[in-house]
Amino acid sequence: MDFMHDSRRHQPQFRNFNVIDDFNREALGIDIAVSLPAGKISHYLDKLA
């Protein structure tokens, strides 16, 4: 799991939440949003499980 952030010129910053399997380097899920509160992350992890 990792968080990343990026922004475009004159645009609000957005965040990525990435879940990657280290063994076979497969992306299990990516969630992109302007805001990623803890409740949204836990719901997303429950959905992946």
pLDDT of residue 23: 92
pLDDT of residue 19: 93
Write the pLDDT tens digit of every residue in 2-39: 888 888 888 888 999 999 998 998 989 898 888 888 88
pLDDT of residue 20: 92
CB atoms closer than 10 angstroms to residue 36? 17
pLDDT tier at 46, thresholds 50, 70, 90: very high
Domain that holds residue 32: 2-48
Amino acid at 39: G
Q: How many domains does the chain have?
A: 1
pTM (2 d.p.): 0.70
Quick check: 15 and 35 in contact, CB under 8 A? yes
Q: Is 45 exposed, middle or buried (0-12, 13-18, 19+ CB in 10 A)?
A: middle
